[in-house]
Structure 1
Amino acid sequence: MRRFCSLVLSGLGAVLPAASSASANDYCEDLWFTRNAIMDRAGYCFGSNLGKAVFDNSDCIGKTVEISPTDQRVVAHIQNAERDADCRIDTSNRQLSLRDLDRRKNLWDLPVRSEDALACMGWRGEQLPLRAGHSNSAPVTGKVNHGDIVEMNFVGDQGWEYLQVLTRDWDVVTAGWAKVEFSPDVCDGIIP
Protein backbone atom coordinates (compact mmCIF):
# COMPACT_ATOMS: atom_id res chain seq x y z
CA MET A 1 0.00 0.00 0.00
CA ARG A 2 1.40 3.32 -1.05
CA ARG A 3 0.96 6.15 1.41
CA PHE A 4 1.29 9.77 0.38
CA CYS A 5 3.15 11.24 3.30
CA SER A 6 4.53 14.63 4.19
CA LEU A 7 8.19 15.24 3.57
CA VAL A 8 10.48 17.70 5.26
CA LEU A 9 12.07 19.98 2.67
CA SER A 10 15.54 19.74 4.14
CA GLY A 11 15.45 15.95 3.76
CA LEU A 12 14.59 15.93 0.07
CA GLY A 13 16.83 14.98 -2.79
CA ALA A 14 14.63 15.69 -5.79
CA VAL A 15 15.58 13.94 -8.99
CA LEU A 16 13.49 14.35 -12.08
CA PRO A 17 12.49 11.16 -13.83
CA ALA A 18 13.18 11.91 -17.48
CA ALA A 19 9.87 10.63 -18.83
CA SER A 20 9.64 13.22 -21.57
CA SER A 21 10.96 16.66 -22.43
CA ALA A 22 7.45 18.09 -21.94
CA SER A 23 7.22 16.74 -18.40
CA ALA A 24 10.79 17.86 -17.72
CA ASN A 25 9.92 21.37 -18.90
CA ASP A 26 6.73 21.41 -16.77
CA TYR A 27 8.75 20.33 -13.75
CA CYS A 28 11.39 22.99 -14.37
CA GLU A 29 8.82 25.74 -14.99
CA ASP A 30 7.09 24.77 -11.78
CA LEU A 31 10.31 24.99 -9.78
CA TRP A 32 11.23 28.29 -11.47
CA PHE A 33 7.84 29.79 -10.61
CA THR A 34 7.91 28.82 -6.92
CA ARG A 35 11.49 29.98 -6.42
CA ASN A 36 10.78 33.32 -8.07
CA ALA A 37 7.39 33.75 -6.36
CA ILE A 38 9.24 33.61 -3.04
CA MET A 39 11.58 36.33 -4.27
CA ASP A 40 8.66 38.38 -5.66
CA ARG A 41 6.90 38.28 -2.29
CA ALA A 42 10.10 39.62 -0.70
CA GLY A 43 10.10 42.58 -3.12
CA TYR A 44 12.58 41.44 -5.78
CA CYS A 45 12.59 43.52 -9.01
CA PHE A 46 12.64 41.26 -12.07
CA GLY A 47 14.61 42.23 -15.14
CA SER A 48 13.93 39.29 -17.48
CA ASN A 49 10.99 39.25 -19.89
CA LEU A 50 9.56 36.20 -18.12
CA GLY A 51 9.99 37.62 -14.64
CA LYS A 52 8.31 40.89 -15.61
CA ALA A 53 5.46 39.08 -17.38
CA VAL A 54 4.72 36.61 -14.56
CA PHE A 55 5.26 38.91 -11.56
CA ASP A 56 4.21 42.48 -10.80
CA ASN A 57 7.23 44.76 -10.42
CA SER A 58 5.08 47.72 -9.29
CA ASP A 59 5.78 47.00 -5.62
CA CYS A 60 9.37 45.76 -5.93
CA ILE A 61 12.12 47.23 -3.78
CA GLY A 62 15.32 46.10 -5.51
CA LYS A 63 17.54 43.25 -6.65
CA THR A 64 18.75 42.49 -3.12
CA VAL A 65 15.99 41.32 -0.80
CA GLU A 66 15.80 39.47 2.50
CA ILE A 67 13.89 36.23 2.85
CA SER A 68 13.18 34.21 5.98
CA PRO A 69 15.39 31.27 6.98
CA THR A 70 12.53 28.91 6.00
CA ASP A 71 12.27 30.52 2.55
CA GLN A 72 16.07 30.35 2.23
CA ARG A 73 15.90 26.57 2.78
CA VAL A 74 13.07 26.21 0.26
CA VAL A 75 14.95 28.29 -2.35
CA ALA A 76 18.13 26.23 -1.78
CA HIS A 77 16.13 23.00 -2.14
CA ILE A 78 14.56 24.25 -5.37
CA GLN A 79 17.93 25.35 -6.77
CA ASN A 80 19.34 21.88 -6.04
CA ALA A 81 16.35 20.25 -7.75
CA GLU A 82 16.79 22.55 -10.75
CA ARG A 83 20.49 21.62 -10.97
CA ASP A 84 19.71 17.89 -10.63
CA ALA A 85 17.13 18.14 -13.43
CA ASP A 86 19.40 20.33 -15.59
CA CYS A 87 16.63 22.94 -15.83
CA ARG A 88 17.08 25.65 -18.41
CA ILE A 89 14.17 28.09 -18.45
CA ASP A 90 14.19 30.55 -21.34
CA THR A 91 13.56 33.80 -19.50
CA SER A 92 13.25 35.71 -22.78
CA ASN A 93 9.79 34.08 -23.09
CA ARG A 94 6.78 35.88 -21.67
CA GLN A 95 4.72 33.00 -20.28
CA LEU A 96 4.80 29.74 -18.37
CA SER A 97 2.69 26.70 -19.20
CA LEU A 98 1.65 25.98 -15.58
CA ARG A 99 -1.97 24.87 -15.47
CA ASP A 100 -2.82 26.68 -12.23
CA LEU A 101 -0.54 29.73 -12.40
CA ASP A 102 -3.19 32.31 -11.48
CA ARG A 103 -4.40 30.21 -8.55
CA ARG A 104 -0.88 29.79 -7.21
CA LYS A 105 -0.23 33.51 -7.15
CA ASN A 106 -3.00 33.88 -4.56
CA LEU A 107 -1.84 31.14 -2.19
CA TRP A 108 -0.63 31.90 1.30
CA ASP A 109 1.82 28.99 1.13
CA LEU A 110 3.53 28.09 -2.13
CA PRO A 111 3.77 24.42 -3.16
CA VAL A 112 7.08 22.91 -4.24
CA ARG A 113 6.96 20.40 -7.07
CA SER A 114 8.00 16.88 -6.14
CA GLU A 115 9.68 14.17 -8.15
CA ASP A 116 6.77 11.92 -7.17
CA ALA A 117 3.44 12.21 -8.92
CA LEU A 118 0.22 10.34 -8.78
CA ALA A 119 -3.36 10.85 -9.86
CA CYS A 120 -6.33 9.53 -7.94
CA MET A 121 -8.90 8.56 -10.55
CA GLY A 122 -12.28 8.84 -8.88
CA TRP A 123 -12.05 10.23 -5.33
CA ARG A 124 -13.99 8.01 -2.89
CA GLY A 125 -13.27 9.98 0.26
CA GLU A 126 -15.46 12.56 1.90
CA GLN A 127 -15.72 16.06 0.45
CA LEU A 128 -12.45 17.80 1.19
CA PRO A 129 -12.02 21.59 1.39
CA LEU A 130 -8.92 22.99 -0.31
CA ARG A 131 -7.28 26.01 1.27
CA ALA A 132 -4.86 28.79 0.32
CA GLY A 133 -2.38 27.70 2.98
CA HIS A 134 -1.43 25.25 5.71
CA SER A 135 -4.12 26.37 8.11
CA ASN A 136 -7.79 25.74 8.71
CA SER A 137 -8.13 29.53 8.89
CA ALA A 138 -6.79 29.95 5.33
CA PRO A 139 -9.47 30.84 2.76
CA VAL A 140 -11.13 27.93 0.97
CA THR A 141 -10.02 27.84 -2.68
CA GLY A 142 -12.15 24.89 -3.78
CA LYS A 143 -13.05 21.35 -2.80
CA VAL A 144 -12.50 17.74 -3.75
CA ASN A 145 -15.79 15.93 -4.39
CA HIS A 146 -16.72 12.28 -4.76
CA GLY A 147 -15.63 11.07 -8.24
CA ASP A 148 -13.06 13.83 -8.88
CA ILE A 149 -9.66 13.26 -10.47
CA VAL A 150 -7.08 14.49 -7.95
CA GLU A 151 -3.44 15.01 -8.86
CA MET A 152 -0.70 15.07 -6.21
CA ASN A 153 2.61 16.32 -7.59
CA PHE A 154 3.92 18.39 -4.70
CA VAL A 155 5.92 18.06 -1.50
CA GLY A 156 3.73 17.83 1.57
CA ASP A 157 4.33 20.36 4.28
CA GLN A 158 3.40 20.05 7.96
CA GLY A 159 0.81 17.33 7.22
CA TRP A 160 -0.77 19.38 4.41
CA GLU A 161 -0.80 18.32 0.75
CA TYR A 162 -1.24 20.55 -2.30
CA LEU A 163 -3.91 18.93 -4.49
CA GLN A 164 -5.12 19.76 -7.99
CA VAL A 165 -8.63 18.71 -9.07
CA LEU A 166 -8.65 17.96 -12.81
CA THR A 167 -11.09 17.50 -15.66
CA ARG A 168 -10.97 14.37 -17.81
CA ASP A 169 -8.80 16.45 -20.21
CA TRP A 170 -6.32 17.12 -17.37
CA ASP A 171 -7.18 20.82 -17.02
CA VAL A 172 -7.09 22.19 -13.47
CA VAL A 173 -10.56 22.90 -12.08
CA THR A 174 -9.38 23.97 -8.63
CA ALA A 175 -6.38 23.49 -6.39
CA GLY A 176 -5.26 24.09 -2.84
CA TRP A 177 -3.91 22.67 0.40
CA ALA A 178 -5.70 19.96 2.36
CA LYS A 179 -4.93 18.12 5.56
CA VAL A 180 -5.19 14.60 4.22
CA GLU A 181 -3.59 11.21 4.68
CA PHE A 182 -3.75 9.56 1.30
CA SER A 183 -4.29 5.85 0.80
CA PRO A 184 -5.36 3.84 -2.27
CA ASP A 185 -8.66 3.11 -0.51
CA VAL A 186 -9.89 6.64 -1.30
CA CYS A 187 -9.48 6.21 -5.08
CA ASP A 188 -11.22 4.13 -7.74
CA GLY A 189 -7.82 3.84 -9.39
CA ILE A 190 -4.32 5.33 -9.16
CA ILE A 191 -2.02 6.44 -11.97
CA PRO A 192 1.59 6.82 -10.78
Structure 2
Amino acid sequence: MRTFFLTAALVCTAGTASALCADAWYLRNMAFDRAGYCFGSTLGKSVFDTACSTKSPSLDDWDQRMVSAHKQLEASYNCKINTKGRSLASSLIGKLDDVDLLPTLSQFESSCVGYTGAPVTMTSGIGMRDSYPTGTIKGGDRVNFRFESWGGFEFVETETAAGWIPEGSVSPDTCTAFAG
Protein backbone atom coordinates (compact mmCIF):
# COMPACT_ATOMS: atom_id res chain seq x y z
CA MET A 1 0.00 0.00 0.00
CA ARG A 2 2.78 2.43 0.91
CA THR A 3 4.47 1.78 -2.48
CA PHE A 4 1.24 2.69 -4.30
CA PHE A 5 1.05 6.10 -2.61
CA LEU A 6 4.75 6.79 -3.19
CA THR A 7 4.41 5.83 -6.87
CA ALA A 8 1.29 7.95 -7.26
CA ALA A 9 3.06 10.91 -5.66
CA LEU A 10 6.05 10.54 -8.01
CA VAL A 11 3.78 10.29 -11.06
CA CYS A 12 1.86 13.41 -10.00
CA THR A 13 5.10 15.32 -9.39
CA ALA A 14 6.55 14.27 -12.76
CA GLY A 15 3.32 15.23 -14.54
CA THR A 16 3.27 18.59 -12.78
CA ALA A 17 6.91 19.29 -13.66
CA SER A 18 6.25 18.35 -17.29
CA ALA A 19 3.25 20.71 -17.46
CA LEU A 20 5.22 23.47 -15.76
CA CYS A 21 8.06 23.01 -18.28
CA ALA A 22 5.69 23.21 -21.25
CA ASP A 23 3.97 26.31 -19.87
CA ALA A 24 7.30 28.02 -19.07
CA TRP A 25 8.60 27.32 -22.59
CA TYR A 26 5.36 28.64 -24.09
CA LEU A 27 5.30 31.86 -22.04
CA ARG A 28 8.97 32.58 -22.65
CA ASN A 29 8.65 32.06 -26.38
CA MET A 30 5.34 33.92 -26.60
CA ALA A 31 7.21 37.09 -25.62
CA PHE A 32 9.64 36.50 -28.50
CA ASP A 33 6.80 35.76 -30.91
CA ARG A 34 5.09 39.03 -29.99
CA ALA A 35 8.40 40.84 -30.62
CA GLY A 36 8.48 39.45 -34.18
CA TYR A 37 10.98 36.62 -33.69
CA CYS A 38 11.43 34.21 -36.59
CA PHE A 39 11.52 30.74 -35.03
CA GLY A 40 13.89 28.19 -36.49
CA SER A 41 12.65 25.12 -34.60
CA THR A 42 9.82 22.92 -35.82
CA LEU A 43 7.98 23.46 -32.53
CA GLY A 44 8.35 27.24 -32.62
CA LYS A 45 7.03 27.34 -36.19
CA SER A 46 4.11 25.05 -35.27
CA VAL A 47 3.03 26.84 -32.10
CA PHE A 48 3.58 30.49 -33.04
CA ASP A 49 2.77 32.88 -35.85
CA THR A 50 4.94 32.40 -38.93
CA ALA A 51 4.64 36.09 -39.84
CA CYS A 52 7.91 37.29 -38.37
CA SER A 53 10.38 40.08 -38.90
CA THR A 54 13.62 39.40 -37.02
CA LYS A 55 16.06 36.90 -35.56
CA SER A 56 17.11 39.52 -32.96
CA PRO A 57 13.98 40.83 -31.26
CA SER A 58 14.02 43.57 -28.68
CA LEU A 59 12.05 42.82 -25.50
CA ASP A 60 10.77 45.45 -23.10
CA ASP A 61 11.87 45.30 -19.44
CA TRP A 62 8.76 43.39 -18.31
CA ASP A 63 9.14 40.67 -20.95
CA GLN A 64 12.90 40.44 -20.39
CA ARG A 65 12.36 39.82 -16.65
CA MET A 66 9.64 37.26 -17.42
CA VAL A 67 11.87 35.44 -19.94
CA SER A 68 14.79 35.38 -17.45
CA ALA A 69 12.55 34.05 -14.67
CA HIS A 70 11.26 31.27 -16.91
CA LYS A 71 14.76 30.31 -18.04
CA GLN A 72 15.71 29.94 -14.35
CA LEU A 73 12.55 27.95 -13.64
CA GLU A 74 13.22 25.66 -16.61
CA ALA A 75 16.82 25.13 -15.43
CA SER A 76 15.74 24.33 -11.86
CA TYR A 77 13.29 21.69 -13.14
CA ASN A 78 15.79 20.40 -15.73
CA CYS A 79 13.17 20.94 -18.43
CA LYS A 80 13.61 19.22 -21.77
CA ILE A 81 11.19 20.37 -24.47
CA ASN A 82 11.25 18.49 -27.78
CA THR A 83 11.62 21.41 -30.18
CA LYS A 84 11.72 18.99 -33.12
CA GLY A 85 8.09 18.03 -32.42
CA ARG A 86 5.00 19.77 -33.74
CA SER A 87 2.92 20.05 -30.57
CA LEU A 88 3.27 21.30 -27.02
CA ALA A 89 1.16 20.15 -24.07
CA SER A 90 0.67 23.62 -22.59
CA SER A 91 -2.66 24.50 -21.01
CA LEU A 92 -1.94 28.16 -21.79
CA ILE A 93 -2.15 27.91 -25.57
CA GLY A 94 -5.06 30.07 -26.69
CA LYS A 95 -5.72 31.51 -23.23
CA LEU A 96 -3.20 34.34 -23.42
CA ASP A 97 -3.98 35.75 -26.84
CA ASP A 98 -5.85 38.70 -25.31
CA VAL A 99 -3.38 39.28 -22.47
CA ASP A 100 -1.08 42.28 -22.93
CA LEU A 101 1.14 41.74 -19.90
CA LEU A 102 2.36 38.14 -19.82
CA PRO A 103 2.58 36.56 -16.36
CA THR A 104 5.48 34.74 -14.72
CA LEU A 105 4.88 31.21 -13.48
CA SER A 106 5.38 30.44 -9.82
CA GLN A 107 6.73 27.18 -8.44
CA PHE A 108 3.63 27.02 -6.27
CA GLU A 109 0.03 26.58 -7.22
CA SER A 110 -3.37 26.79 -5.55
CA SER A 111 -7.00 26.70 -6.63
CA CYS A 112 -10.33 28.08 -5.56
CA VAL A 113 -12.86 25.34 -6.24
CA GLY A 114 -16.45 26.52 -6.57
CA TYR A 115 -16.08 30.31 -6.46
CA THR A 116 -18.99 31.83 -4.49
CA GLY A 117 -18.32 35.58 -4.63
CA ALA A 118 -19.49 38.36 -6.91
CA PRO A 119 -18.30 38.33 -10.54
CA VAL A 120 -14.67 39.49 -10.98
CA THR A 121 -13.44 40.89 -14.28
CA MET A 122 -10.06 39.65 -15.48
CA THR A 123 -8.08 42.18 -17.52
CA SER A 124 -5.31 42.18 -20.10
CA GLY A 125 -2.87 44.18 -17.95
CA ILE A 126 -2.15 45.76 -14.59
CA GLY A 127 -3.57 49.18 -13.84
CA MET A 128 -3.11 50.24 -17.42
CA ARG A 129 -5.58 52.72 -18.82
CA ASP A 130 -5.86 50.72 -21.99
CA SER A 131 -6.38 47.33 -20.29
CA TYR A 132 -9.53 45.58 -21.36
CA PRO A 133 -11.57 42.63 -20.05
CA THR A 134 -10.33 39.16 -20.95
CA GLY A 135 -12.98 37.21 -19.05
CA THR A 136 -15.09 37.06 -15.91
CA ILE A 137 -14.83 34.84 -12.85
CA LYS A 138 -18.37 33.66 -12.11
CA GLY A 139 -20.06 31.61 -9.40
CA GLY A 140 -19.05 27.95 -9.54
CA ASP A 141 -15.79 28.59 -11.44
CA ARG A 142 -12.52 26.96 -10.51
CA VAL A 143 -9.88 29.70 -10.24
CA ASN A 144 -6.24 28.66 -10.55
CA PHE A 145 -3.38 30.63 -9.01
CA ARG A 146 0.02 29.61 -10.37
CA PHE A 147 1.67 32.89 -11.29
CA GLU A 148 3.68 35.51 -9.43
CA SER A 149 1.74 38.50 -8.09
CA TRP A 150 2.90 41.99 -8.95
CA GLY A 151 1.98 45.49 -7.84
CA GLY A 152 -1.19 44.48 -5.99
CA PHE A 153 -2.45 42.29 -8.85
CA GLU A 154 -2.41 38.56 -9.49
CA PHE A 155 -2.80 36.59 -12.67
CA VAL A 156 -5.43 33.84 -12.58
CA GLU A 157 -6.99 31.27 -14.89
CA THR A 158 -10.39 29.70 -15.17
CA GLU A 159 -11.28 26.87 -17.53
CA THR A 160 -12.04 29.31 -20.34
CA ALA A 161 -10.07 32.52 -19.70
CA ALA A 162 -7.10 34.13 -17.97
CA GLY A 163 -6.18 37.61 -16.82
CA TRP A 164 -5.11 40.00 -14.10
CA ILE A 165 -7.29 40.75 -11.06
CA PRO A 166 -6.70 42.91 -7.96
CA GLU A 167 -4.94 40.82 -5.33
CA GLY A 168 -7.40 39.33 -2.83
CA SER A 169 -10.43 39.54 -5.17
CA VAL A 170 -10.72 35.77 -4.82
CA SER A 171 -9.96 34.46 -1.34
CA PRO A 172 -10.52 31.21 0.56
CA ASP A 173 -13.63 32.86 2.03
CA THR A 174 -15.23 33.03 -1.44
CA CYS A 175 -14.57 29.39 -2.36
CA THR A 176 -16.40 26.17 -1.62
CA ALA A 177 -12.91 24.69 -1.16
CA PHE A 178 -9.41 26.15 -1.43
CA ALA A 179 -6.48 23.87 -2.20
CA GLY A 180 -2.81 24.72 -2.10
Q: TM-score range by the shorter chain?
A: 0.7 to 0.9
Match of residue 148, structure 2, among 155, 162, 176:
155
Displacement after TM superposition at 1:160 (Å): 1.7
Match for residue 6 of structure 2?
Answer: none
Question: Following the alignment from structure 1 to structure 2, what is the Cα–Cα distance between the partners of residues 32 and 189?
Answer: 30
Q: Is the 8 A contact 2:35 2:57 kept in 1?
A: yes
| Aligned partner of residue 66 in structure 1, secondary structure | coil
Secondary structure at the counterpart of residue 104 of structure 1: coil
SS across alignment from 1:61: coil
From 171, 174, 177, the counterpart of 1:186: 174
| TM-score where L is the length of structure 2 | 0.85
Distance in 2, Cα, partners of 1:18 & 1:72:
33
5 Å-filtered alignment, 1:67-78, equals: 67-78=59-70
Find the counterpart in structure 1 of residue 163 from structure 2: 176
Closer/same/farther in 2, CA of residues 101 and 147 from structure 1, 3 Å limit: same
Task: Tell me which of 106, 111, 115 is aligned to 1:114.
Answer: 106
Select 1:53's aligned residue among 22, 29, 46: 46
User: Percent identity of the aligned residues?
Assistant: 33
Counterpart-to-counterpart distance in 2, 1:74 and 1:150: 22
What's the Cα RMSD here?
Answer: 1.9
Q: Do the aligned residues in 2 keep the contact of 1:18 with 1:24 (CA within 8 Å)?
A: no
| Range with greater deviation from structure 2 (17-26 or 66-75) | 17-26
Greater radius of gyration (CA): 2
CA distance in structure 2 between the aligned counterparts of 1:114 and 1:185, rounded to whole angstroms: 23
| Equivalent residue pairs, number | 169
Query: Which structure carries more relative contact order (alpha carbon 8 Å, separation 6+)?
Result: 1
1:101 maps to 2:93: yes
**Runs in 1 of length 4+ with deviation above 3 angstroms?**
none
> Which residue of structure 2 aligns with residue 143 of structure 1?
136
Q: Which runs of 5+ in 1 are unaligned?
A: 1-16, 166-171
- Cα deviation for residue 104 of structure 1 reads 0.9
1:134 equivalent to 2:126? Answer yes
Compute the displacement of 1:135 (Å).
3.3
